Amino acid sequence: MLQVLIAAIAGYAFGAIWYMALAKPWVKATGIAVDENGQPTDKSPLPFIVAFVSAIVVAGMMRHIFVMAGIDSVGKGLTTGLGLGLFVAAPWIVNNVMFGDRDKSLIWIDGGYAAGGCAVIGLVLALF
């Protein structure tokens, strides 16, 4: 369980860095209301809590997949995590963006987070 928690924290931290770096284009693409300083007006912690719980769920399922598939090296963990992000998670994000008629830049911003976050989680899981 500790392995999953550490991997989830790493994936969550990757997301924090990713979205801080892409904050302006992400806010613009989502249409989130911002104040005069460019900060979102909704200060609810709920999205952050849900994101962390989701990272735990993803890390837990990835650990299960890794155990079942015999993923036992850093290289395999990283590439399998990246593959899960690119070829499982990101396509669902594409569907959500397209059917929701949302700004298409979210495919790259949110899909990039899914791919990178899964790669980081896979790397950390393989380290233990």
Rounded average pLDDT over 79-101: 97
Task: Assess if residue 103 is contained within a domain.
Answer: yes
- Please give the tally of structural domains in the chain: 1
Rounded average pLDDT over 71-84: 97
Task: Assess if residue 38 is contained within a domain.
Answer: no
Task: Assess if residue 42 is contained within a domain.
Answer: no
The span from the CA of 115 to the CA of 100, in Å, is: 21
* Token pair recorded at residue 31: 């249409």
Domain that holds residue 83: 2-31+47-127
List 40's β-bridge partners, or say none: 34
Task: Outline where 1-128 has alpha helix (H).
Answer: 2-21, 23-30, 46-69, 74-84, 90-99, 105-127
Residue 42 has a pLDDT of 87
Task: Assess if residue 91 is contained within a domain.
Answer: yes
pLDDT per residue over 22-36, tens digit each?
A: 999 999 999 999 888
pLDDT per residue over 34-57, tens digit each?
A: 888 888 888 899 999 999 999 999
